[in-house]
Structure 1
Amino acid sequence: MPTAVPTETRTAAETGAGGLPVVEAPDKLVPKDARELSKVFFARLAELEEGTPDHQYVRTTLIDMNMSLVSYAAGRFRSHGDEREDIVQVGAIGLIKAIDRFDLTREVQFASFAVPYIVGEIKRHYRDTSWAVHVPRRLQEARVELARAAEELGARLGRSPRVAELAEHMDLTEEEVVEARLASNGYTSMSLDAAIGDDENDDVSLAHFIGEQDHAVELFEDFHTLAPLLERLGERDRRLLHLRFVEELTQSEIGERLGVSQMQVSRLLAGNLARLREGMLAR
């Protein structure tokens, strides 16, 4: 136990906390005092039954006393642009995991044990939530390695490295390097309504530059494929199709025109359409 109890604490044998000091403002402790008191609280935590009021008090105090570790770790991710409060909350989850898994008998400083948990939780948060579209984890990791390799090779070569050079440097195939580059596009996204250009063209958005499917082109291709197939049909079959799909006559009306029964018209139509469909699919 520290030789000098901080002014923010007072002894509390009567509080039911096993004689531990009650820390009035645990988040205000200087790092040295926090380290010393943490040892005492961890020793007591190991003795208490989980779920009891004393256990909850000791665990909560340990969290508050060591939140400075979360603030320190969160500072590493300042460039990501997220709200600091959000990152601190995520890092606090890592701190809680570290407290629940820490063992004094390992003779390891708690700070050394906890920081990797905190940083890992923050990195996991970015990995799972920061990508605009879902990208497999191996490609997310490859994106980071690719950026590092490109920077290193660029400095060495004095130019942007080629795909083959990156593949050799990273011990990957060229296809994997290209795949990692494509995956990088999933990290950020832009709204189709985003304005493009100068102030004079504020009404021009990205959506104006994206093409649409032209069904007329598909129709032209279908007609171009169908024409030679129709020429192979006999004159009666072509007339039958003309009456049905151009003049839009019923099967009964077609039968009267051609002098056959409605059943025969139905059978002839089915046979002709089947041959045309087979020819279209074979192209």
Structure 2
Amino acid sequence: MAKKSNKKTGPRDSFYADKSDKELFLLYRENKDVDIRNELINRNLYIVEILSKKFINKGIEYEDIYQVASLGLIYAIERFDTDKGFEFSSFATPTIIGEIKKYFRDKGWSIRVPRRIQELSKKVNTASVFLQQQLHRVPKVEDIANYLGCSQEDVLEAIDASYVYKPKSLDLSYDNDGDDKDIQLMDLVGSEDKSFTNIENKDFLERAMSKLNEIELKIINDRFFSNKTQMAIANELGVSQMTVSRIEKKVLSKLKKEYEKMSL
């Protein structure tokens, strides 16, 4: 009864202070009290801090990562079930990391750019907005370089790097001069010529097959080019099917190693 009285008249945080995490989760599952959730959040913010620090210097500000991780903590609290028998920290960690990685996929640099260039890119963007207001015109590269105290080459490098922060959609259309039909970006992007791959594979097979003995060569040709069964090949060679299988595995393993060497 004393606790009930404290709940009505005293601060809610003092009422929840002597509750264990499990007790709070059970209470929250019953009534979805926001004050209980806030208490659980405050108790477990240390998990957010630890996990957020693992993603420092990866292209996104720590404060942004911390906020996303905090949101992940809230999701974990909403989904946690004490009946499963897991520790909350073990349950919350993959949920929080998942939210952080999702944020990186949505907002992060699509191509890894040196930290120095990332920071300079932000300064260039800020300086560009400021100088445009001061000069009443779009600032030149020289203006930005003088304002930041760096070279024009550094500014140009930062501007180029900023384009990889958010890649353009392949569905983006460009006006085609003299033609009614627009050109999509995907039509301008080059693609790998498959004939080169076919030539490389053919050359590899010819060189690899030349190293096989007569029986190995027959088994590979019959199995993969003539679609014969191991039993049919075994009958032709007068050996057991197990022997054919063993030779086949040995040759395939040898070809795999040769291919891996070629790929290095």
Give the TM-score band, short-chain normalised.
0.3 to 0.5
TM (normalized to structure 2)?
A: 0.43
